[in-house]
Copies of this chain bind each other. A is one copy, B any other.
Amino acid sequence: MNLVIFGGTIITMGRMGIIRDGAVVVEGDTIIDVGRSDDIKHKYPRYEGIYAGGKIVMPGLINTHQHAAMSLLRGYADDYPLREWLESWVWPFERHMTGYDIYVGALLTAVESVMGGTTTVNTMYHYMEDYNEAAAFAEVGLRGVIGHVCFSWRKDHDRRALVDLAGRWHGKADGTIRVSIDPHAPYTVDPEYMRELRAITLELNEKYASKGGPIIWHTHLAETEDEAQKIKGSFGVNVENGVVDYMDSLGVLGGDVVAAHCVHLTGRDIEALKTRNVKVAHSPISNLKLASGVSPLPELLRAGITVALGTDSPCSNNSADMFEVMKFTALLHKGVSRSPTLLPAEQVLRMATIDGAKALSWDNEIGSIEPGKKADLAILNFKKPHLRPLYSEISHLVYAVKASDVETVIINGRIIMENKEIKTVKAEEVMEKAEKAKEKLLDRLHSH
């Protein structure tokens, strides 16, 4: 479809800055022109027009750490100690999840994400051939990096799953689906397997990168304080200089690694993140809820590390709301560091857009509104009492906008949501499916 979105304020997050009474021209899946409405609109007389007067047009938000399927556990267990939460609640529940449950959970998260202006989600979960997160994202039209999470205890299963996932899904759905290799964490993936996963990544990239773009890594790293001890306990390895440094010693770190959390870091860890150009997926809401602590984000940024933002799962958040993550990020570090100038609004908005794209090695196509990039856009209504008066769009986007202010979402040139109505799936049906899947899961759980 060819579109001209005109009359709105364009927050490009690129070289063109903010364009008032601006226009974005979309041809097929691609942005072909951006400028002032007066200057460019007349050049595209036959294109379908979307009038965005009084509205904000921004790049869709990029969620760099999610476990989409886990929406089925939203609110299932909160306020427990971490170990009890995992061992008595989350894991027993997850053992009963089928491929269909994973698909339904991911459908629900995909719908929620789009409704909140998120157009790309990096998700880590168990890949299954029949039903999976990739199918759910493709059905909704959400752009995504779909991972399969790997553990030492199921290497054979993982190897098959990774090959199948890459073959079936990488570069599919008009290029909106990419896949990733997801070593769960350094304490659940042994050193040898970690290196093997690196080799598998190389092989799969040789086969598929030319078609679908790079196959990246997505892992948990330095989330809790006891990771070094856990690595020692699991694999008998002494981790003396931090868990990132340990990963680096395995030779597995690189610019294609998205490391979620990075809360408990040594100086050597920060050096390794910088030297290897590892991307950090900062997930402050989850870190607070699970009481993991507060990531030294200001230090990471000072070191020049690319930091993007993530919601983490609907079970440790309990929303897929990237606007909320932006507000938490901007405020938490000011308060904890006692410095009100840290994390200004514009920097945080970059983290949720262009830096998110960089984190996923996808910034050649997404993360900003610029000619040549894919058309991933969110259009927001600012005529709301909570967004009046207006001095600065950027301030409002970080400190005052709510996910519900998003009205229209375009992904890869397709209108996925228009005036708050999802066009690709029936939101009502997705909600019913999720509720039913939950009921059946609880039945299975309680009959055991």
A331 to B336, CA, bound (A): 14
- The range of chain A's interface size is 35 or more
Judge if A447 is at the interface, Cβ distance under 8 Å.
Answer: no
Which of A6-14, A157-165, A214-222, A383-391 lines the interface with chain B?
A: A383-391
Across-interface contacts of A384 in B (CB, < 8 A): 431
Contact A400 B74 (CB under 8 A): yes
Listed residue (A112, A343, A388) with the most chain B CB atoms within 10 angstroms of its CB: A388
Listed residue (A321, A328, A386) with the most chain B CB atoms within 10 angstroms of its CB: A386
Contact A341 B292 (CB under 8 A): no
Judge if A415 is at the interface, Cβ distance under 8 Å.
Answer: no
A257 to B80, CA, bound (A): 34
Given A318-B395, A431-B383, are A288 and B332 also a contact pair (CB < 8 Å)? Answer: yes
Judge if A236 is at the interface, Cβ distance under 8 Å.
Answer: no
Contact A115 B431 (CB under 8 A): no
Across-interface contacts of A231 in B (CB, < 8 A): none
Contact A289 B331 (CB under 8 A): yes
Q: Which of B78, B321, B400 contacts A75 (CB 8 A)?
A: B400
- CB proximity of A326 to chain B, nearest CB, Å: 12
Contact A78 B289 (CB under 8 A): no
Listed residue (A294, A335, A341, A399) with the most chain B CB atoms within 10 angstroms of its CB: A335
Across-interface contacts of A430 in B (CB, < 8 A): 385
Judge if A97 is at the interface, Cβ distance under 8 Å.
Answer: no
Chain B: CB-nearest residue to A107: B385
Across-interface contacts of A437 in B (CB, < 8 A): 389
Across-interface contacts of A399 in B (CB, < 8 A): 75, 78, 289, 317-319
Contact B111 A288 (CB under 8 A): no
Which residues 320-346 in A have Cβ within 8 Å of B in the complex? 320-321, 324, 327-328, 330-332, 334-345
Contact A390 B435 (CB under 8 A): yes
Contact B390 A291 (CB under 8 A): no
Given A288-B332, A383-B431, are A388 and B74 also a contact pair (CB < 8 Å)? Answer: yes
Q: Which of B293, B331, B385 contacts A112 (CB 8 A)?
A: B385
Contact with B along A55-97 (1 / 0, CB 8 A): 0000000000000000110111011111001000000000000
Across-interface contacts of A290 in B (CB, < 8 A): 334, 340
Contact B391 A340 (CB under 8 A): no
A319 to B340, CA, bound (A): 18
- CB proximity of A112 to chain B, nearest CB, Å: 4
Contact A79 B341 (CB under 8 A): yes
Contact B78 A345 (CB under 8 A): yes
Contact B388 A318 (CB under 8 A): no
Chain B: CB-nearest residue to A290: B340
Contact B336 A336 (CB under 8 A): yes
Across-interface contacts of A210 in B (CB, < 8 A): none
Apart from A78-B392, A293-B335, A388-B435, 14 more pairs, CB < 8 Å: A74-B389, A75-B389, A75-B391, A75-B392, A75-B396, A78-B345, A79-B343, A80-B341, A81-B340, A116-B386, A291-B335, A320-B386, A389-B438, A402-B404
